[in-house]
């Protein structure tokens, strides 16, 4: 069978041969053994319903073994024999160009060079799944191969419910991930219902097929580090020290961003595979396994005011404690362990090897939880010591503050500025000891002005196309900057600088993709220029637009994207739901809505979209309508929450578009409440 035939065959009639478990690949840790005996039978029945009954006697013991060994049924036998990566769009089978674009994006999310645990269909974040098992993957590829322009594929948490008749302007795919009845949305509910095979954690760009490797986050991280340095009045040439952790899917962007921002980055990572990957990709300059050697190197880097990134293969707690003992001054500090998933491999406790942790989290989850919490208390204590010396520490959207507080750490500050734990909190006078990066930086400086992580993928797979898009985007932003208001001049300048240097920074892993923070006007003008270029034959293929969820409108997440909303509505999810509904009838090619992602199951609702530009007039109409809504929805909500930057942006949006009428807030004087 050739590639196209294999790709579109769906679940094969004859069982493929069993594949040996590949130990050279990074695998997901064994999941918690959470199902009762009866529930295990249900999980097996659920898995077997994908297959002809004639195969059940062979598959039953195999799936039972997977459930016992890994805590999930991945159906490894059905992993395809062909290589998974973002092929040029014309290589995919089918009749519908939009469907082919979606295949390309899914292939990219599962590319072993891109995905964190490719054989468990996990793209990033430890549990960010594209599908729950390989049967779902095979079926989706078949449906997309069969799809016509007036059908919509409906996907429930990786499971394709089927192709339904719709119309040409409808999304080709609608994805929901982890949509639970709210009372069943605790972390253990994910463990249980995911093990049963009825839901999945789609993270953010994993389950919406918009992951573009760490590049997606490098830009945002660079903006964050640059502005954090500005906040503490440090310049590029000052040799400031930034200490953080994680060299995984997103966290791996930190050293690269630190280099671009011009500081010294020390990043701890417990997993040698992750360290090697980032080092071999050139994302982190030097690797250390010995704390003393690392310390010596850091002292030299500080003395020479270098811009360099150093990985420490070990636990982050060791660094915070050791640098305190050695009295090394840390300018900036953060953490990007996967604390949204603390009990299942997201956070490795101090004093235990990777292997010991992986074993304990499966065999003795209660003890493992205690170890994690103990480690978090130690980590917080050490960070607090540095903070007293002047370190500016910020939460990086990974639920560090939340989990540290749940662990009983002294992560709050009372009215006297003393560090206290949640049991000592006085509701009216206690605050988190540290800001989230959104509260201090990204919220007021980016999201409230409508700036967010716009991105595109060149479906031709050609480097030349990507170069042309970079040049077009730089030209558009340059032109917009000439007449832009003072409030967004520096944003535009940072983004022009970024796009001009993007190729030089060698950011592409996987598909030929680019990220560029832009506001509604910027996104629309860039997309329109791409569409025109496709129409006049300048590109060899279509362009796929999207964004991640670290954005103005797509995500309701009280400890991250919406942590700078202060009217109480940060605990509502209307914005994300409105966003995905609105995108779906304004021209998105696919839409997705997810529970979880980033900060954890039950902690966030986020939505995404993809849009294929093919150079047609229809594409132009859709991009104008949908991109405008996709940003101004969030501006309206942020402005109603009385965020002054968003009030400015909402008024500006109404000047640009006469048909837009936003309900604006009246400002209530604090002096009314003095007594
Ligand atoms: N920066 C952002 O803007 C941003 C955006 C999205 C998500 N996040 C959050 O950041 C976190 C990391 O994301 P990711 O995709 O890199 O996840 P990941 O799981 O791929 O990487 C986290 C890494 O941390 C390592 N680690 C865990 N505990 C450690 C410890 N104690 N010491 C040293 N290393 C340890 C793990 O081995 C892993 O490689 C997630 O919670 C994610 O939701 C941040």
The pLDDT, as a whole number, for residue 429 is 65
Instruction: Using DSSP bridges, classify how beta strands 605-613 and 555-556 pair: parallel, antiparallel or unpaired.
Output: antiparallel
The pLDDT, as a whole number, for residue 217 is 81
Q: Which of 398, 554, 560 to mutate to test the pocket of ligand 1 (most atoms within 8 A of CB)?
A: 398
> Is the Cβ atom of 246 under 6 angstroms away from ligand 1?
yes
- Those residues of the chain that have pLDDT short of 70 are 429
Please indicate if the annotation marks 443 as binding a ligand.
Answer: no
Please indicate if the annotation marks 269 as binding a ligand.
Answer: yes
| Residue nearest atom 21 of ligand 1, based on CA coordinates | 248
* Sign for the pseudo-dihedral over CA of 192, 194, 196, 199: positive
- What whole-number distance in Å separates Cα of residue 574 and Cα of residue 568? 13
> Is the Cβ atom of 441 under 6 angstroms away from ligand 1?
no
> Is the Cβ atom of 589 under 6 angstroms away from ligand 1?
no
| Residue nearest atom 1 of ligand 1, based on CA coordinates | 396
> Is the Cβ atom of 250 under 6 angstroms away from ligand 1?
yes
The pLDDT, as a whole number, for residue 570 is 96
Separation of CA 531 and ligand 1 centre (Å)? 36
Ligand 1 atom showing the smallest separation from residue 340 Cα = 41
Separation of CA 56 and ligand 1 centre (Å)? 39
| Residue nearest atom 23 of ligand 1, based on CA coordinates | 246
> Is the Cβ atom of 229 under 6 angstroms away from ligand 1?
no
| Residue nearest atom 6 of ligand 1, based on CA coordinates | 598
Both tokens of residue 372? 């994690």
Residues whose CB falls within 8 Å of the CB of residue 668, separated by 6 or more in sequence, listed in order: none
Longest Cα–Cα distance of the chain, Å, equals: 79
Separation of CA 478 and ligand 1 centre (Å)? 35
> Is the Cβ atom of 127 under 6 angstroms away from ligand 1?
no
| Residue nearest atom 34 of ligand 1, based on CA coordinates | 269
**Domains in the chain, CATH or no CATH each:** 3-195 (3.40.1770.10), 215-441 (3.40.50.10730), 450-670 (3.40.1770.10)
| Residue-wise pLDDT tens digits, 290-344 | 999 999 999 999 999 999 999 999 999 999 999 999 999 999 999 999 998 899 9
The pLDDT, as a whole number, for residue 237 is 76
> Is the Cβ atom of 216 under 6 angstroms away from ligand 1?
no
Ligand 1 atom showing the smallest separation from residue 598 Cα = 43
* Sign for the pseudo-dihedral over CA of 298, 300, 301, 302: positive
pTM: 0.87
Please indicate if the annotation marks 85 as binding a ligand.
Answer: no
Residue among 613, 640, 614 nearest 627 (CA)? 613
DSSP 422-451: GGG--TTT-EESS-BHIIIIIHHHTGGGT-
């Amino acid at each position: 069978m050739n590639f196209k035939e294999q790709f579109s065959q769906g679940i094969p009639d004859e069982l493929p041969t069993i594949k040996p478990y590949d130990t050279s690949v990074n695998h997901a840790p064994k999941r918690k053994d959470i199902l009762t005996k009866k529930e295990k039978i249900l999980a097996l029945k659920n898995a077997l319903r994908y297959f002809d009954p004639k195969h059940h006697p062979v598959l039953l013991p195999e799936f039972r073994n997977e459930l016992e060994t890994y805590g999930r049924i991945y159906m490894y036998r059905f992993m395809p024999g062909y290589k998974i990566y973002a092929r040029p769009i014309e290589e995919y089978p089918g009749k519908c160009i939009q469907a082919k674009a979606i295949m390309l994006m899914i292939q990219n999310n599962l590319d072993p060079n891109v995905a964190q645990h490719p054989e468990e269909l996990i793209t990033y974040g430890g549990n960010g799944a594209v599908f729950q098992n390989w049967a779902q993957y095979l079926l989706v590829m078949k449906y997309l191969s069969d799809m016509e322009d007036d059908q919509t594929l409906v996907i429930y948490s990786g499971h394709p419910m089927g192709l339904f008749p719709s119309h040409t302007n409808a999304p080709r795919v609608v994805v929901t991930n982890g949509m639970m009845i709210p009372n069943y949305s605790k972390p253990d509910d994910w463990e249980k219902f995911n093990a049963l095979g009825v839901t999945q954690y789609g993270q953010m760009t994993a389950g919406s097929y918009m992951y573009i490797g760490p590049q997606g986050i490098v830009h945002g991280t660079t903006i964050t580090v640059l502005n954090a340095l500005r906040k503490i009045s440090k310049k590029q040439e000052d040799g400031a020290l930034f200490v953080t952790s994680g060299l995984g899917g997103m966290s791996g962007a930190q050293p690269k961003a630190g280099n671009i921002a011009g500081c010294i980055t020390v990043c701890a990572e417990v997993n040698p595979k992750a360290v090697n990957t980032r080092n071999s990709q050139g994302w982190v300059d030097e690797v250390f396994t010995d704390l003393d050697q690392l310390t010596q190197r850091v002292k030299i880097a500080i003395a020479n005011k270098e811009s360099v990134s150093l990985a420490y293969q070990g636990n982050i707690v060791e660094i915070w404690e050791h640098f305190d003992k050695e009295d090394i001054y840390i300018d900036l500090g953060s953490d990007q362990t996967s604390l949204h998933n603390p009990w299942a491999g997201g956070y490795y406790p101090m004093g235990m090897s990777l292997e010991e942790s992986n074993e304990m989290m499966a065999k003795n989850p209660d003890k493992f939880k205690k170890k994690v919490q103990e480690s978090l208390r130690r980590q917080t204590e050490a960070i607090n010591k540095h903070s007293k010396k002047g370190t500016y520490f910020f939460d990086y959207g990974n639920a560090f503050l939340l989990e540290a507080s749940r662990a009983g750490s002294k992560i709050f500050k009372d009215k006297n500025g003393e560090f206290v734990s949640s049991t000592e909190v006085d509701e009216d006078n206690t605050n988190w000891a540290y800001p989230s990066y959104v509260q201090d930086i990204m919220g007021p400086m980016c999201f409230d002005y409508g700036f967010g992580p716009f991105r595109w993928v060149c479906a031709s797979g050609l480097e030349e196309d990507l170069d042309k898009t970079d040049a077009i985007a730089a030209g558009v932003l340059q032109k917009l900057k000439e007449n832009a208001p003072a409030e967004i001049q520096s944003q535009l300048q940072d983004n022009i600088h970024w796009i001009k240097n993007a190729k030089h920074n060698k950011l592409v892993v996987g598909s030929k993709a680019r990220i560029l923070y832009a506001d509604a006007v910027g996104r629309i003008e860039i997309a329109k220029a791409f569409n025109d270029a496709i129409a006049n034959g300048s590109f060899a293929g279509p362009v796929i637009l999207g964004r991640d969820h670290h954005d103005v409108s797509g995500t309701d997440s009280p400890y991250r994207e919406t942590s700078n909303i202060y009217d109480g509505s940060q605990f509502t999810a209307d914005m994300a739901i409105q966003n995905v509904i609105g995108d779906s009838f304004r021209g998105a090619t696919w839409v997705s809505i997810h529970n979880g992602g980033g900060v954890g199951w039950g902690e966030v609702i986020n939505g995404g979209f993809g849009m294929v530009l093919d150079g047609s007039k229809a594409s132009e109409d859709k991009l104008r309508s949908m991109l405008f809504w996709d940003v101004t929805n969030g501006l309206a909500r942020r402005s109603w929450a009385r965020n002054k930057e968003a009030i400015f942006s909402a008024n500006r949006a109404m000047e640009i578009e006469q048909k837009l009428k936003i309900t604006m807030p009246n400002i209530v004087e604090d002096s009314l409440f003095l007594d």
